Chains A and B, each alone.
Chain A
Amino acid sequence: MTKYAMAVDLDRCQGCRGCMTACKVENNTVEGNFWMYVFRFESGTYPDTEMSFLPRPCQHCDNAPCVKVCPVGSRFKREDGLVLTDADRCIGCRYCELACPYGVNYFNWQKPDDAQYPIVDWQDDSLDPVTGGVIPPYKNPDLDQLWGDEQRRTAGGGHAKGIMEKCTFCVQRVEKGLDPACVETCPTDALVFGDIDDSDSPVSEYLRENRTWQLLDEAGTKPSVYYIGGRPPSREVTEIERPKATV
């Protein structure tokens, strides 16, 4: 059996938020939706202050509260550990978002195409030589495929207005034997992904050699994401630099 998990080495994370960007490019998520989110914390009083970072992907819990409350089975857990959302079945009740203690769910409040980042006016003729007539947002063709034994539309975001979406551990990449986009892009290798049922996998080795802790352990959700180094966030820290986005 395969059982996917992620290790997050906080001693390596430098808070560059490259993973957040990689995720958005890979998954077509709309403005303000951060499936991967990196907290930038500050603690202490000047001059004794300390900065710390905490990447927060979906925890893909083994005892996922979001799966339990979904009234139609749109949110489900696969045998390989991924917790996914069926874009064709979700009715948009948003109960999963409330059940999740981590805040990883993002609802599409409007038509995804209308909610992409308005960086430049892509219709501008002078951009033609650069874009070659292709008008963004770029749509990852993998996201419209059906994935897994279940053959359900579970990959990526930006599918439709009025449905819930969240981190998928990049199911479309994992099924091809690739790492999730955030893991692939991390410049310090702070994120490690793999099969923990395979004792020779890099993630198994990493977890074996390091002391780990899990986010909100007390909630009993049994996450598939393990943290190494740093310490669990408390109310003593304040968040600095929230990403700017209009929602």
Chain B
Amino acid sequence: MTSDTKSRTVLPQGVGKFSAKWLMFTAAMVAVLVIGILAYLYEANQGMIVTGMANTGTQGGVTWGLYVVMVEYFIGVSLAGIVLAAFAYVFNVKVLRPISRLAVLLTVGSLMVGVLAVLIDLGKPIRGIINMLLYVRPQSPFFGTFMLVAVGVLLTSLLYLYLDGRRDAAYLAEFDSSLRWYHRLWAAGYSDTQAERERHRRTMFWLSILVVPLVVIALSTEGLVFGIQVGRPGWFGSLQGPDFLVLAAASGLANLIVLTAIVRRVLHDDYVLIGRSVFKWLGGLLLAATAVALYFQVVELFTLLYATPGNERLLADALLRGPYAWIFWLGLVLLGLGLVLLVLQAARREWSVGLLVVASVAISTSAVAERYLTVIPSQTHGMLLPYEPGSYFPTWVEFAVVGGLFALGALLIGLFIKVFPIVPLNGADSDKEVLVDA
């Protein structure tokens, strides 16, 4: 790190510069968040009766609704970021280095929002936090959601983000800016000596290797929550865990592509920081993940069409031509559309950022649809006793709360970009000093 003690005041990458556009974005997100908070307070006061949920069976409702759908979606989105960053670190993939921090940030942000959604879905959220610490049972798949995901993966990702940023923080702390206290706090005594660098490199290396199995195990439990339930048609099966991961990878990469495109635009002064080759990588990876996700869906579709025993048939009818048909087919078409767009670009060996974003949005939307179809229909049409089929439609409260969750995620990422350089300053090679001065 440079020992240049000239008083520098302008931080790189627009850090500390709160532009009018950024303020407008933030104000809009805060407004959506406030609506979400008010809706939740209304729900907390009245009870979950204000949601569209009701008991399964005699009440003909669903007991897990839109909130759990979004838990599955958000936690799924978190998979790709940290794994991609770890991969880039271990194999020293320099092309991906500029977006590694953004990738980990996406993991941290979506996990925070996902875990918050879990708490929002509890009938007794505060008792939930306390009792999960006092009485936790690892035998329940919920252990995976609470302990492995909320505590394990989230804290590991935060640690990753922190350690990876210390060198940059130490550099920024030399600037005479209003954020100096924050960068000093982050650097926390790090002064970039050779020994410190080596220690960080080793720690990051092993952390990168260890985080991958942790994430895979923890996130698989999100699928197992459904997969190990023998008493509900549509859920029981060994594919639920892998299926969750595959779609998680696709939706996570899709979100990362959209974020990268936005950040690249915002950092227009430093356009060179995120090269076009990043999109080639992300596009290729998304293509692979989407192809596997589509394969999984087609395999499931064939099983449904060909051999549907007993109660599964009722569920299959509801999915293929019943009340859920439009979601089912829309999801499949969007996934196919995303794949086609990616294949065309791959075949032409030319990746357009615009087309990639379109494909990503299609795939991400399809992931929400798929999560919805995992959680909801097995409750309304999956009762083994001959109850009448139920129905579910979320109320405005649920939509407002979910909107608030998205806004919170956007705020977290938007705020981070303004207090810390989103593209690592030391570039691809941590031993070289590729510092970017503004």
Contact A107:B63 (CB < 8 A) given known A70-B140, A91-B128, A219-B231: yes
Q: Which A residues between 202 and 247 are near B, CB-CB below 8 angstroms?
A: 215-216, 219-221, 233-235, 237-239, 242-243, 247
B98 at the interface (CB under 8 A from A): no
- B136 to A68, Cβ gap below 8 A? no
Q: How far is the CB of B317 from chain A (nearest CB, A)?
A: 11
Contacts of A90 in B (CB 8 A): 123-124
Contacts of B55 in A (CB 8 A): 32-33, 97, 103, 105-107, 109, 247
- B142 to A93, Cβ gap below 8 A? yes
B232 interface neighbour in A32, A72, A73, A101, Cβ under 8 Å: A101
- B139 to A99, Cβ gap below 8 A? no
Contacts of A163 in B (CB 8 A): 123-124
- B140 to A110, Cβ gap below 8 A? no
Q: Which residue of A lies closest to B233 (CB)?
A: A101
B142 interface neighbour in A65, A71, A92, A107, Cβ under 8 Å: A71
- A242 to B388, Cβ gap below 8 A? yes
Q: Which residue of A lies closest to B230 (CB)?
A: A219
Contact A239:B388 (CB < 8 A) given known A65-B230, A162-B123: yes
- A94 to B63, Cβ gap below 8 A? yes
Contacts of B49 in A (CB 8 A): 109-110, 115, 247
Digitize A157-169: 1 where CB-to-B-CB distance is under 8 Å, 0 elsewhere: 0001111100000
- A71 to B386, Cβ gap below 8 A? no
A135 at the interface (CB under 8 A from B): no
A39 at the interface (CB under 8 A from B): yes
- A91 to B231, Cβ gap below 8 A? no
- B47 to A216, Cβ gap below 8 A? no
Contacts of A68 in B (CB 8 A): 139-140
- A162 to B135, Cβ gap below 8 A? no
Size bin of chain B's contact surface: 35 or more
- A103 to B56, Cβ gap below 8 A? yes
Q: How far is the CB of B114 from chain A (nearest CB, A)?
A: 15
> By CB atoms of chain A within 10 A, which of B58, B141, B386 has the most?
B58
- B385 to A247, Cβ gap below 8 A? no
Contacts of B230 in A (CB 8 A): 65, 101, 219-220
Q: How far is the CB of A126 from chain B (nearest CB, A)?
A: 31
B48 at the interface (CB under 8 A from A): yes
A95 interface neighbour in B124, B132, B142, B310, Cβ under 8 Å: B142
Contact A235:B310 (CB < 8 A) given known A72-B131, A101-B232: yes
B203 at the interface (CB under 8 A from A): no
- B141 to A91, Cβ gap below 8 A? no
A78 at the interface (CB under 8 A from B): no
- B231 to A109, Cβ gap below 8 A? no
CA gap between A14 and B368 in the complex, in Å? 47
Q: How far is the CB of B305 from chain A (nearest CB, A)?
A: 19
A100 at the interface (CB under 8 A from B): yes
Q: How far is the CB of A23 from chain B (nearest CB, A)?
A: 13
A53 at the interface (CB under 8 A from B): no
Q: Which residue of A lies closest to B55 (CB)?
A: A106
A: number of interface residues (CB 8 Å)? 57
Digitize B45-80: 1 where CB-to-A-CB distance is under 8 Å, 0 elsewhere: 011110101111111010110000000000000000
- A109 to B58, Cβ gap below 8 A? no
Q: How far is the CB of A187 from chain B (nearest CB, A)?
A: 23
Digitize A74-108: 1 where CB-to-B-CB distance is under 8 Å, 0 elsewhere: 10000000000000011111110111111111111
Contacts of B158 in A (CB 8 A): none
B46 interface neighbour in A70, A74, A104, A110, Cβ under 8 Å: A110
Contacts of B142 in A (CB 8 A): 69, 71, 93, 95
A110 interface neighbour in B47, B131, B134, B136, Cβ under 8 Å: B47
Contacts of B139 in A (CB 8 A): 68
Q: Which residue of A lies closest to B44 (CB)?
A: A162
A41 at the interface (CB under 8 A from B): yes
Contacts of B385 in A (CB 8 A): 39, 56, 101-103, 215-216, 233
CA gap between A103 and B386 in the complex, in Å? 11
- B124 to A92, Cβ gap below 8 A? yes
B122 at the interface (CB under 8 A from A): yes
Contacts of B141 in A (CB 8 A): 69
- B63 to A97, Cβ gap below 8 A? yes
- B386 to A73, Cβ gap below 8 A? no
- A103 to B128, Cβ gap below 8 A? no
> By CB atoms of chain A within 10 A, which of B225, B311, B384, B385 has the most?
B385
Contact A99:B231 (CB < 8 A) given known A70-B140, A247-B55: yes
- B132 to A91, Cβ gap below 8 A? yes
- B48 to A109, Cβ gap below 8 A? yes
B314 at the interface (CB under 8 A from A): yes
Digitize A97-140: 1 where CB-to-B-CB distance is under 8 Å, 0 elsewhere: 11111111111111100010000000000000000000000000
Q: Which B residues between 110 and 160 are near A, CB-CB below 8 angstroms?
A: 121-125, 127-128, 131-132, 134-137, 139-143, 146
Digitize B221-250: 1 where CB-to-A-CB distance is under 8 Å, 0 elsewhere: 000010001111000000000000000000
CA gap between A220 and B231 in the complex, in Å? 9
Contacts of A105 in B (CB 8 A): 55, 63
Q: Which residue of A lies closest to B118 (CB)?
A: A93
Q: How far is the CB of A240 from chain B (nearest CB, A)?
A: 10
A37 at the interface (CB under 8 A from B): yes
CA gap between A106 and B59 in the complex, in Å? 9
Q: Which residue of B lies closest to A91 (CB)?
A: B128
Contact A162:B387 (CB < 8 A) given known A101-B230, A107-B55: no
A71 interface neighbour in B54, B59, B146, B311, Cβ under 8 Å: B146
Contact A238:B229 (CB < 8 A) given known A94-B64, A98-B63: no
- B140 to A101, Cβ gap below 8 A? no
Contacts of A242 in B (CB 8 A): 58, 388
> By CB atoms of chain A within 10 A, which of B231, B311, B387 has the most?
B231
- A237 to B64, Cβ gap below 8 A? no
B137 interface neighbour in A73, A107, A108, Cβ under 8 Å: A73
- 19 of the cross-chain contacts (CB-CB < 8 Å) are A32-B55, A32-B58, A37-B58, A69-B141, A71-B142, A90-B124, A92-B127, A97-B63, A98-B379, A102-B231, A103-B58, A105-B63, A109-B53, A111-B47, A115-B49, A160-B124, A161-B47, A221-B231, A235-B314
**Supplied contacts A92-B122, A93-B122, A102-B57, 6 more A-B pairs, CB within 8 Å:** A70-B137, A92-B127, A103-B55, A105-B63, A216-B384, A239-B387
